[in-house]
Structure 1
Amino acid sequence: MTSSSLRDWLISRQRRWGTPIPIVYCPHDGVVAVPEDKLPVVLPKHGENLDEWKITTCPKCGSVATRETDTMDTFVDSSWYFMRFTDPHNHAQPFSKEKCDELMPVDLYIGGKEHAILHLYYARFISHFCADEGLTAHREPFKKLLAQGIIKGKTFKSKSGKYLQKDEVTEKEGRLVETSSGELVTTSFEKMSKSKMNGVEPGDFVSEWGITL
């Protein structure tokens, strides 16, 4: 799936969660899809050995093979969960057409900037696919979109491009520098993220503004 701005679906992620990619690699048959009657592929539980889990047998020849250890992006799950909500206890199908058609489409979709661009894009793709396959009667998953803004935080970045915490930065002679190296630090306002270390500490916020129970 491509567009003018999105070239792939981040189908492959190196994470221990997400939707497993049902593929095994056989030394004789190459890339082999896991048969439908062997689905779903269940990831190893926390604490289990990944190296042991990935050893399996080839569905074609029975030889020792290895599983694909990458997972699909979580967008793959969240692109159709609203359909699953219409029939959450169905153990034979993702959802029944009758129940899904009765409750879908969703009346109002509320999401931030990424949802209005990314998740909405994928959700519409899945919805159109399901309609084409006769799984649902509706093509569009949502009747109305309410897009929220995006929260940004002050961000500190070293000369090497490493994100820094606020307490790793010192003001020296009117300029901000990395405390440990003395190198200049650049500042900007970027989307709040743990990886960018620019979030708001909840405890500090509560101390200043209080909380209502």
Structure 2
Amino acid sequence: MKAARLLIAVSLSLLGCGDDGGGPDPDPDPDPLPVGECGAISTFENGKTPSTTLHVDDGGSDDNGDGSEADPLATLQEAASRATPGTAIVIHEGNYAGDLYIANLQGTEEAPIWIGGAEGEALPVFSGGDFVIQFSGGRYLVVHDLELTGGSAGGLNFDDMGEVDDETFAQHLVLRDLYIHDVGADGNQDCLKLSGLDDFFVTDGRFDDCGGGGSGID
């Protein structure tokens, strides 16, 4: 049976800080911890940079684009099919169809795969479908700076494809700076659905209106 390890920003910011338990009582209203000092989160992403980049734009072409900034692809699915360890998939601002299914996308510890919005641009918006985006069997992925909305079954789904006895099947994920909202209806539809994962981080996300009986993160 898998034992999932969920590492949350708030809890990690407290680990390793302060002394060994002695000293004065803690400040009831402390200043925020500066980035890079005690409390910064360390993941497999830290210190890594992409070796190649694939660009996605809602005005691009999967048939004629090569993934360069000048000739971008049109869909995340096509970019994912071309990605290798060390690839950054940069999705430019715009509107994209949901109902995407991406299976067995795998980076490595030394060369993750990044999927996210372009720096300095508005978040790309994925909308509609069953799950707006579903990943199955992913490893060493960083998914960041995306907006997802309108999925009838939920927003963003990560799962292990039912491989419950293989704890390495879906592991090592960083999910950060995601905005997922207005999914589902009156049932148990979640904004972020995580099933059978091992070793993952969820940081700096916003989850609103997650179904009638759903959760922000489940």
TM-score (norm 1): 0.25
User: Relative CO higher for 1 or 2, CA cutoff 8 Å, sep ≥ 6?
Assistant: 2
TM-score (norm 2): 0.25
- Report which of the two has the higher share of helix: 1
- Report which of the two has the higher share of strand: 2
